Chains A and B, each alone.
Chain A
């Protein structure tokens, strides 16, 4: 009896390891394939799709970076993302602090008003945003993309920061008030630093959203010098795209920042992703 149970348990364990291996392969192989193919010549790629590259050829990267202008797009994306995150944090910390620390009549209404933003389908705002931006001359400017990114990423930031500020003991602030600290100074020098983990989560999640976004550059940016990576990749669709390895190199460049952020901040990311869902 014990014996069969142990064998059965062992068998289950083996089957789980098989499933585990299958999931790993299915999830990792396509990405690995893109990176591996990016080092091949077009000739090599067309002869055998699956063969590994025989040597590391970086010409594809150089060409993608310079000729296909992925380098320019890369820094555009980075710049838009960083600037947006700074503005989001600035605004969201203030709002979250007000919502967490003050009780006033409209508090719940305002909180709900912000949270609804997480459910607004971005696509139902595109036509008016396009029309407004074009008519006010806000399209194709250095700050164009920052506006929608700030607006649409603020609800998540407020959601995370508000619940975190609630867990920070208020006594620290009270001590600061007694010491004659002004409100802006309390926010900047006490509340903000104490929110470290929540700020990290907001930064990582927002960076992913902005880096990966495609729809806002698609409708608001036509200036080739302001395009972001996701929009720039579109150059590889169509008749000129015969060079697959160069495209793979461009894709790899587009993935790298996300991958690096992922591995550095894995913990905050998974916390952020599951925070809302697990708490319900």
Chain B
């Protein structure tokens, strides 16, 4: 079937072309377009004014809000990698190879928040953090910790952590599920042998489970970083980046500059910076890890 004949080439072409065309036009061409637009000053209607790299200079200058958005995004990435992948792994290790009653209920409960729309999560956040009618402040005063209650989304020092907490909550179950699925591939004999050899608890986790799940851990970290770099909807619903720019992340910084201030050129430049940042965040860790693994082996 793999003999290259003229007829085969035609078949191949009409199989590939439609998909390739749609995908390229919608997902890939815009990136080239963004790179082009990023060299101009343009408000969308009047004529475009060529700036060269001035948009990028403005982004990286000390007075821009870019560094604030960058810092918030990095806070998101770091806390989510620890909170989602870390805790997800911990839960999975605790539940590996254990028979539970209500196991099905547990799996459903674990996974439920992940399937909710970010917008819905945003509304949930609004209802949880609302200073007057919020779930959190109500619960705090119920257990006598009223003094801890505050306007969670109105306090510039707290808001970003409040948002991160919701995001971690949403996706812990996702990673637990992935780790549990991967752990099913570990044969029970291996774990039993390890226990007979005296590897229990931490030692078993460190010397047996982590090496066996190494690939899954890397992939989870990649998914987590890629996913966290995209966070937008729930922040848009809860704070729109406020108060001030206290909870602005990169995607929101791009959105606010483009669609509120009509700076399409500047917004495109931010898009390109986001693309490169994600690329660096995803590719470089993988590359480092692979190199280390190779040097160890």
Contact = CB atoms under 8 A, between A and B. Distances in A.
Interface of A: 13, 16-17, 19-20, 23-24, 26-28, 30-31, 33-34, 45-46, 49-50, 91-92, 94-95, 97-98, 101-104, 110, 113-114, 117, 119-132, 134, 147-148, 150-152, 154-155, 158, 170, 173-174, 183, 208, 211-215, 218-219, 230, 233-234, 236-237, 244, 247, 251, 254-255, 258-259, 262-263, 266, 269-270, 273-274, 276-278, 280
B233 A215 contact: yes
A169 to B, nearest CB: 12
A150 B22 contact: yes
**Interface size class for chain B?**
35 or more
B181 A123 contact: no
Interface stretch (B56-64, B76-84, B108-116, B146-154): B108-116
A214 to B, nearest CB: 4
A258 B196 CA distance: 45
A218 B1 CA distance: 47
A234 B234 CA distance: 11
Contacts of B219: 276-278, 280
9 contacts: A20-B95, A30-B135, A94-B18, A121-B274, A121-B278, A127-B37, A129-B30, A152-B26, A154-B27
Contacts of B138: 49-50
Contacts of A278: 178, 181-182, 185, 216, 219
Contact of B216 (A50, A234, A280): A280
Chain B contact residues: over half helix, strand or loop, or mixed? Answer: helix
Interface in B211-242: 215-216, 218-220, 223, 226, 229-230, 232-233, 236-237
Contact of A174 (B1, B94, B105, B237): B1
A52 to B, nearest CB: 15
Contact of A102 (B12, B20, B31, B119): B12
Contacts of A131: 33, 37, 44, 264
A13 B119 CA distance: 37
Contact of A128 (B108, B123, B181, B268): B268
B106 A254 contact: no
A254 B117 contact: yes
Interface string B154-190: 0000000000000001000110011001100100000
Contact of B258 (A13, A126, A173, A230): A126
Contacts of A218: 236
B177 A151 contact: no
* Residue from A123, A219, A269, A273 having most chain B Cβ neighbours under 10 A: A123
Nearest to B103: A20
B119 A20 contact: no
Nearest to B170: A27
A13 B33 CA distance: 58
B22 A34 contact: no
B70 interface: no
